[in-house]
Structure 1
């Protein structure tokens, strides 16, 4: 009897010791991959430059009513991207998150992937020695499950395609990432995909190992085009199913191009690529101040500008995802100071034909209205097709406006050095061309000038908002989100 008790005690100590050892390993792995040093050049703040040349381009899809009657689209961004490629004489650098033509929706989307590929191939054919670099996310190969035929065609033509090494970035879902890093990242033994592709049924099957990598959610989320003549920072993906989304882009010229190239070169280098060219452009004077920002440097700068607002100022936001706690607090505090806060948000109702739960924006709006005692004003974009995918902030004070535009959702994953993000900050005098154009853009949508662009707050603030708020709170606490 004593011998059996001793054996049981030994086994118990072994089990408890093993569990403790595993938990120490698990916690250690989580802490390392959550806080490990970023690759050199990530989280970048460029110099402040001056210019007279900042141009706004927007994509909008809208209708006469919520049913989509008389639906129309105004699409400017990729036409400008094609023009930039066609006019380039020395180099073209692109960094885009999504790049595929597939969709399960019965909608006639623009052929963006095919058109962009054709322009790049023609440019390479006309100028065989010109460097053309396309940086992208491994999402576009199903995280290694298959090849992307359009990117493969580019590579065959001599265009350099660089897939971002996401493993070098920090992990944003610690509960899952601990298991992923210990067990799952070593499981790529399959030759071919065999699981249905969740992105679109027309796409190739995916490996189990690819899904396991997908669930460790992070991305190179940037949308950037740079030539020796100009740079464009956008919220728009070259992705056919995203072709009717609402988006915004800013195009700039001058020495800031070297800041953009430096930030992209950092991604190149930690992903196995090399150096990028530079431009020889002298500093100049101009009415606009411009700065290129990435990752958490965006958060630091934006928070400072929001916290500096005073009574009589106006904060406009056109945003796909709004969830970062620091930003929410800054908006509430601004409203309490007498700042007019006006938000145009996507209702998070659908994603490529699939119904969504309204997270995070609907519970966030519920919270903002409550915390600000309804001082904050909200309108939902009327998403008759696609999404209101814009990431645009416009802060207007007595003498100037501060503008942020780019790829960055106002969420933890985008602003806390998990995803790779890109943003242009512009300080514009009041009544400058850019200031007038942006004010006109927001007022057009807010007042439904010419179409039903936006809907009243109450449309999506129904009885489910409190349930959604609880789910949202749990997701944020556990960091188990897709936003």
Structure 2
């Protein structure tokens, strides 16, 4: 009798716990976003937009070549700032495999910020970042500590108010493990790199939530840069893109960043003084789910006579893939350049999601779609940009957001810029030249034909890809 009661009590407790886990999962995947996220800025008219890019490739002589402009520009803009500098950067650390010879990007940015602050004591500098640089609280960051010691405000994004992207796992973590914290004497190798501090098991448990402030934004009172590039040493050789402009879009970016600070306890950002708008180019800042809304809108209005160019690190969002298929059926020509997803900071990767996704796209059977792989070595093709080539007016959308559920469905924090300009403008010509150069291997072997990676899709990888899609337990 006592055993029977004990068994019933155990089953009852398990049932209650299961209900709590389910309720937790449903709530945290559907809760309201913090105010100011999924932001759609006003459309602004500007005279000029600069297209910046980093390219790493092998030249015709077989030697590694670097055409890197993004952080050189940011370093210069730091020196030019007089009133304020606001950065929101996902990865900002020097953790990497020491034998890889990566450039010291994070140290260069930190030194320049500190030097400019010392030069101008009234300059307000705010650095917003993600707790991944502390491996989620398991250790301190010397470089960020140095910024704080020099009167530069450092704000770590509070990720808890964001929606959970891996509900089956995160609900269990929230109910049973989050209460134990992450700090303490680490004993497990850091997932960031061998030279990063060891971490606790509790850190790994939080890491698996895969939640992030993934933005890459730099603004001063004079300029705004939205990018796909991280000031992170191990990302220093990646191929990336960025857009730079000025004017009232600076105020919109500050407003979108204030929203992050408001739920992260960081105070108030500087205020941008509006200027009179004029110019032939239209620019707009978009964050989170608004990026997807605008992307789908542009894909749906694309058809015969239009040409889509897509350069992407991760492509996996089903709504986007479906609209690419439909645009091709309507007669649009589509050229896609993808990273092979086989390398991350010197470590081998499985090729997910791009290898199985590319196979699906090719199975659409449309002669209007072509796919190539960026010829990446130990670096990544980390671009996140789509270009709609259309008659007299063309459009570019790019920034931090991969075209995946995690980056487009109000999960990660993301910032993109949408730019509409005359097809014969210097900006559009620059984007057009960029895509044609790497697609046609002008001067180097930038891209490989689709067939060169086709055999890397094994049945096992495809099964893993589908399991990840169904369970949402994935990093993309």
Contact 2:216–2:227 (8 Å) recurs in 1? yes
Q: Cα offset for 1:439?
A: 0.6
Aligned pairs for 1:130-141 within 5 A = 130-141=123-134
Give the distance between the partners of 2:246 and 2:182, measured in 1 at CA. Answer: 47
Q: 1:190 to 1:442 in 2, by over 3 A?
A: closer
Q: Cα offset for 1:76?
A: 0.1
Is residue 317 of structure 2 the alignment partner of residue 327 of structure 1? no
Does 229-238 or 109-118 show the bigger shift? 109-118
Structure 1 stretches lacking a partner, 5+ long: none
Hey, what does 2:227 align to over in structure 1? Answer: 234
Is residue 17 of structure 2 the alignment partner of residue 58 of structure 1? no
1:417-463 Cα offsets, whole Å, 9 max, x none, are 11000000001111111111111000000000000000000011116
Aligned pairs for 1:2-41 within 5 A = 4=1, 7-41=2-36
Q: Cα offset for 1:8?
A: 4.7
Hey, what does 1:410 align to over in structure 2? Answer: 403
Count of residues paired in the alignment: 476
Is residue 213 of structure 2 the alignment partner of residue 213 of structure 1? no
Hey, what does 1:97 align to over in structure 2? Answer: 90
Give the distance between the partners of 2:137 and 2:351, measured in 1 at CA. Answer: 31
Give the distance between the partners of 1:309 and 1:464, measured in 2 at CA. Answer: 30
Is residue 37 of structure 2 the alignment partner of residue 42 of structure 1? yes
Selected match of 1:362 from 355, 366, 373: 355
1:188-241 Cα offsets, whole Å, 9 max, x none, are 275322211121111111122221111111100000000000100000000111
1:321-366 Cα offsets, whole Å, 9 max, x none, are 0000000000011111111010000000100111110000000000
Hey, what does 2:383 align to over in structure 1? Answer: 390
Selected match of 2:432 from 432, 439, 446: 439
Give the distance between the partners of 1:103 and 1:11, measured in 2 at CA. Answer: 53
Contact 1:49–1:283 (8 Å) recurs in 2? no
Does 76-85 or 368-377 show the bigger shift? 368-377
Selected match of 1:202 from 195, 220, 237: 195
1:104-154 Cα offsets, whole Å, 9 max, x none, are 163322221111011100011011222100000001111111111111001
Contact 1:369–1:375 (8 Å) recurs in 2? no
Give the distance between the partners of 1:372 and 1:29, measured in 2 at CA. Answer: 42
Contact 2:335–2:369 (8 Å) recurs in 1? yes
Q: Cα offset for 1:473?
A: 1.2
Selected match of 2:472 from 467, 471, 479: 479
Contact 1:364–1:469 (8 Å) recurs in 2? no
Structure 2 stretches lacking a partner, 5+ long: none
Q: Cα offset for 1:310?
A: 1.4
Give the distance between the partners of 1:421 and 1:166, measured in 2 at CA. Answer: 13
Hey, what does 1:271 align to over in structure 2? Answer: 264
TM-score with structure 1 length normalisation? 0.96
Q: 1:31 to 1:450 in 2, by over 3 A?
A: same
Q: Cα offset for 1:11?
A: 3.4
Q: 1:186 to 1:228 in 2, by over 3 A?
A: same
Hey, what does 1:317 align to over in structure 2? Answer: 310
1:29-70 Cα offsets, whole Å, 9 max, x none, are 0011111111111110001111111101100000147xx921
Q: 1:426 to 1:189 in 2, by over 3 A?
A: closer
Equivalent position SS for 1:250: strand
Divergent runs of 4+, >6 A:
none
Q: Cα offset for 1:102?
A: 2.3
Give the distance between the partners of 1:108 and 1:11, measured in 2 at CA. Answer: 61
Hey, what does 1:347 align to over in structure 2? Answer: 340
Q: Cα offset for 1:375?
A: 3.6
Equivalent position SS for 2:241: strand
Q: 1:110 to 1:464 in 2, by over 3 A?
A: same
Give the distance between the partners of 1:105 and 1:61, measured in 2 at CA. Answer: 20
Selected match of 2:273 from 269, 272, 280: 280
Contact 1:54–1:251 (8 Å) recurs in 2? yes
Aligned pairs for 1:127-276 within 5 A = 127-188=120-181, 190-276=183-269
Contact 1:336–1:372 (8 Å) recurs in 2? no
1:168-197 Cα offsets, whole Å, 9 max, x none, are 111100110011110111112753222111
Q: Cα offset for 1:374?
A: 5.0
TM-score with structure 2 length normalisation? 0.97
